[in-house]
Amino acid sequence: MPTYPAIGYPTGGTAGSQVSSTYEGRHLKVLESTLTHPTHTDGFVDKGDPVVTSSGVIVGVALNSAAAATDYIEIDSEGLWSLSVVGVDDWGNSAVVIGDEIFINRTTGVLSKIGNPATSQHFGFAEGAVVAAATTVIAVKVHFDPNLADAQLKVGSSSAPWTHDQADFNFQEFRYDNGATSGDNRGIYLQLQMTGSGCQSDALRVRNTLITGVQDTARGAHLTLDFEGAGSITGLGCASVSTLMLPTAPLIGGTYSAARSEIYAENVASDIGGTTMHSIHSFGVSGDATGRATVLNAFEFFNIPSGTGTEMLKTDQHAAAATDGLRVMINGALYYIMLVSG
């Protein structure tokens, strides 16, 4: 005889037989103890509650009330329902307008615009309005969408990548426009917290692998700071910044660096000798020739500890034979590093 699991329908049925004919299977039967729903005195789900299953994926509205955690509850995973929605989003109080995405908190069962995937699951779409900070019963189009469920987003794998052969194609593209006039604003913020030990870790690893064919240009990463129209800055402008953040306690052991450039030889067959040119790190000025001519400094040192700058600028017996020099800035002062033709 078929038996019901905690979530879903019986196992042991006849292959090919229809499980549910109700509205094309949108009604699901779920064990009450696996549902998150708004709080009630008896602790059990009530008819009309918005719910999300313990898997954190399936959402819907309860079609009946429970008297025990062992009761099975029918939920409607679609439909248009009058539900209580709170006028808040991930940044605070925010009015709800028709068409806004509505999310359910996987711990409290509360509906709002708070969509942080760590705490919330996509529930549906607002078909009514809620004043910022208010709680109002409005029509909500419930829509079970598992594609928006998981904070761990995976597209392809090393053995089966997502493939495409269209020219000028971006596999992932994010474009934002921030009109803020203050604050610390970011397009994408990524943080990896390591709380274990003995691991190797990268907060972000970007890899461009050339498999076949001869490419024109390839970069592991390309970072650009761009100015358009009247855009300008009054402080620092950099295409990239590498920061080694020193904690409030002394660092011990290991080798530390704010940035590192290296050429890595994969195995004994690795050979870069046949290239037209190579270097561990390349500095250059590109673009229009007239514009290039206005770039004078090869690199700059700042906040150099006492004595270090002097050591960097020491000359040796070849100084008198110097034929050229690199213009550099050290703590705001202009210097030249003498060069001798090899």
CA gyration radius, the chain: 30
Cβ proximity of 28 and 75 under 8 Å: yes
Phi, psi of 226 (to 5 degrees): -115, 145
Indicate the average pLDDT of the chain. 84
Residue 109 CA: distances (Å) to CA of 42, 52, 257: 16, 7, 47
Report yes or no on 33 lying in a domain.
yes
- Indicate if 97 and 130 belong to the same structural domain: yes
pLDDT tens digits for 281-296?
888 889 999 999 999 8
85 and 101 together in one domain? yes
Q: Is the same domain home to 72 and 86?
A: no
Q: Which single residue is written with the structure tokens 């270097």?
A: 279
Q: Is residue 162 part of a domain?
A: no
Residue 242 lies in a domain: no
Q: Which of 105, 129, 148 is the last residue of a domain?
A: 148
Say if 267 falls within a structural domain: no
Q: Does residue 124 lie in a domain region?
A: yes
pLDDT one-digit tens code per residue, 71-112: 999 999 998 999 999 999 988 999 999 999 999 999 999 999
Collapsing DSSP states into helix, strand and coil, what is residue 124? strand
Residue whose token pair is 């290039």:
292
**Quick check: 4 and 10 in contact, CB under 8 A?**
yes
Residue ending a domain, choose from 97, 132, 148: 148
What is the per-residue pLDDT for 147? Answer: 56
Shared domain for 70 and 106, answered yes or no, is no
* Same domain (yes/no): 88, 71: no
The DSSP code for 151 is: S
Domain residue limits at 111: 80-148
Q: Running DSSP on this structure, what letter comes out for residue 199?
A: -
* Nearby residues of 99 by Cβ (< 8 Å), 6 or more positions away: 125, 126
Burial classification of residue 75, based on how many CB atoms lie within 10 Å of its CB (0-12 exposed, 13-18 middle, 19 or more buried): buried
Q: Is residue 302 part of a domain?
A: yes
Q: What is the pLDDT of residues 130-156, one digit of tens each?
A: 999 999 999 999 987 765 545 566 677
Q: Which pLDDT score, from 0 to 100, does residue 289 have?
A: 94
Distance of CA 289 to the CA centre of its chain: 38
d(CA 36, CA 111): 12
Q: Would residue 225 count as lying in a domain?
A: no
Domain co-membership, 65 together with 121: no
Sheet containing strand 27-31, edge to edge, reads 27-31, 72-76, 59-62, 50-53, 35-36
CA angle, corner 95, sides to 89 and 99, nearest 5?
90
Please give the C-alpha separations between residue 164 and each of 52, 168, 214, in angstroms, as whole numbers: 36, 11, 18
Contact 30, 36 (CB under 8 A): no
Give the DSSP letter of residue 312: H
**pLDDT of 5 higher than 60:** no
Same domain, 68 and 85: no
Note if the pTM is more than 0.75: no
Please give the Cα distance from 106 to 37 (Å, whole number): 8
Query: Which residues, 6+ apart, have CB-to-CB distance to 136 below 8 Å?
Result: 84, 85, 87, 96, 128, 129, 130
pLDDT tens-digit readout, 212-266: 888 888 988 998 989 888 888 888 888 889 999 999 999 999 989 889 899 899 9
Task: Please identify, among 104, 120, 148, the residue that sits at the C-terminal boundary of a domain.
Answer: 148
CB burial class (10 A; 0-12, 13-18, 19+) of residue 113? buried
85 and 134 share one domain: yes
Q: Would residue 198 count as lying in a domain?
A: no
What domain count does the chain have?
3
Tokens for 270?
A: 């690795």
Closest to 120 measured CA to CA, from 147, 143, 90, 93: 90
